[in-house]
């Protein structure tokens, strides 16, 4: 039997009392699973991913990661579980005056050595993402697509069990989108569990991965779309 990494039970969220953004969200991710969350703009993808990653609290329901209940655990347990999760937020969270190098090195410094992805692999990612020449440049000078790749690269600094990515290719051209998707598929094949949000039905169709649809506040897991 597969090892359950993430369990989401009856999750619901209302930013305004009584106005549910989504409810009855239930799904499990086993180690090595790949799940897309597909939904239009405003469907609730980002708020759901932030809640699943424990950056926000749900209005009701529970998230368990490797058996730790995110709604009912000590800060120490929460930190320990979060260490195994990498998150690529839609709003990137970069600091404009810092260089690409600053972003990567500060992230690496915040990680114990054993949790850092090795230098050679990081160099390969830099090359793949076309960011080598930008290493010492402040991210304020980067295009939207380049900034998004910095956020991806930063998330990939950390060895993780679960990668949660919110529209990670939303600002990329066709070629870069598929380079990145190819990388995500390879990471998944090497054992990383993937949870990705997108509004791009065509991408989900091409990739032929399991998909959940978020629409009108309801969440439904489909095998294929
Ligand atoms: N922090 C917040 N405060 C109030 N409303 C929010 C907040 N975040 C999101 N919303 C609302 O929740 C709904 C879903 O937003 P979001 O999760 O960002 O959707 P998506 O990522 O699918 O576009 C939207 O109507 C949005 O305005
Ligand atoms: Mg969003």
First to last CA, the chain: 26
Whether the CB-CB separation of 86 and 67 falls below 8 Å is answered with: no
Domain ranges of the chain: 1-84+195-225
With pLDDT > 70 as the criterion, what percentage of the chain qualifies? Answer: 98
CATH for the stretch 1-84+195-225 = 3.40.50.300
Q: Does any ligand 1 atom lie closer than 6 A to the CB of residue 37? A: no
pTM for the predicted model, two decimal places: 0.95
Residue nearest ligand 1's atom 25 by CA: 42
User: Which value, in Å, is the radius of gyration of the alpha carbons in the chain?
Assistant: 17
Q: Is the CB of 213 under 6 A from ligand 1?
A: no
Query: How far is the centre of ligand 2, averaged over its atoms, from the C-alpha of 136 (Å)?
Result: 30
Q: How far is the CA of 159 from the centre of ligand 2 (A)?
A: 25
**SS3 state at 63:** strand
Residues in the chain: 225
Tell how far the Cα of 5 is from the centroid of ligand 1, in angstroms. Answer: 26
Please indicate whether residue 13, judged by its CB atom, sits closer than 6 Å to ligand 1.
no
Q: Output the pLDDT for position 67.
A: 84
- pLDDT bin (cut points 50, 70, 90) of residue 225 is low
Instruction: Tokens for 28, please give them.
Output: 């499990």
**C-beta 42 within 6 A of ligand 1:** yes
Q: Give 87's strand partners.
A: 164
- pLDDT tens, residue by residue, 181-213: 999 999 999 999 999 999 999 999 998 899 999
CA 96 to CA 142: how far, in whole Å? 9
- Residue burial 170-201, b: 16+ Cβ < 10 Å; e: rest: ebbeeebbebbbebbeebbeeebbbbbbbbbe
Residue 21, ligand 1, Cβ within 6 A: yes
What is the rounded (10 degree) CA torsion for 56, 62, 67, 73?
Answer: 60
Confirm or reject: Cβ of 17 under 6 Å from ligand 1: no
Our answer on whether the CB atom of 117 is closer than 6 Å to any ligand 1 atom is no
The ligand with the least distance to the CA atom of 213 is 1
Does residue 1 carry a pLDDT above 80?
no
198 touches ligand 1 (CB under 6 Å)? no
Give per-residue pLDDT as tens, 42-90: 999 999 999 999 899 999 999 999 888 988 888 888 888 888 899 999 9
Q: Which helix (H) or strand (E) holds 73?
A: none
Name residue, tokens 């910095």.
Answer: 150
199, two tokens: 């509004």
Q: How far is the CA of 118 from the centre of ligand 1 (A)?
A: 36
Residue nearest atom 3 of ligand 1, based on CA coordinates:
15
Q: Nearest ligand, CA of residue 57?
A: 1
Distance 87 CA to ligand 2 centre (A): 13
| Token reading at 173 | 């051209």
26 touches ligand 1 (CB under 6 Å): no
């Amino acid at each position: 039997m597969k090892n359950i990494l993430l369990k989401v039970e009856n999750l619901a969220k209302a930013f305004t009392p009584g106005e549910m953004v989504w409810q009855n969200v239930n799904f499990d991710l086993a180690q090595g699973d790949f799940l897309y969350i597909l939904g239009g703009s405003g469907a609730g993808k980002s708020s759901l991913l932030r809640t699943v990653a424990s950056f926000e609290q749900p209005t009701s329901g529970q998230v368990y990661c490797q058996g730790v209940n995110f709604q009912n655990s000590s800060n120490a347990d929460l930190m320990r579980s979060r260490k195994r999760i990498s998150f690529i937020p839609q709003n990137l969270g970069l600091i404009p005056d810092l260089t690409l190098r600053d972003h990567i090195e500060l992230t690496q410094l915040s990680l114990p050595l054993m949790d850092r992805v090795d230098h050679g692999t990081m160099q390969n990612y830099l090359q793949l993402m076309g960011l080598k020449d930008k290493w010492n440049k402040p991210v304020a000078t980067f295009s939207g697509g380049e900034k998004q790749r910095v956020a991806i690269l930063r998330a990939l600094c950390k060895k993780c069990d679960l990668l949660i990515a919110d529209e990670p290719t939303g600002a990329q051209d066709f070629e870069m989108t598929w380079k990145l998707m190819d990388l995500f598929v390879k990471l998944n094949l090497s054992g990383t569990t993937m949870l990705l949000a997108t509004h791009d039905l065509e991408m989900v169709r091409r990739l032929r991965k399991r998909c959940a649809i978020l629409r009108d506040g309801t969440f439904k897991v489909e095998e294929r779309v």
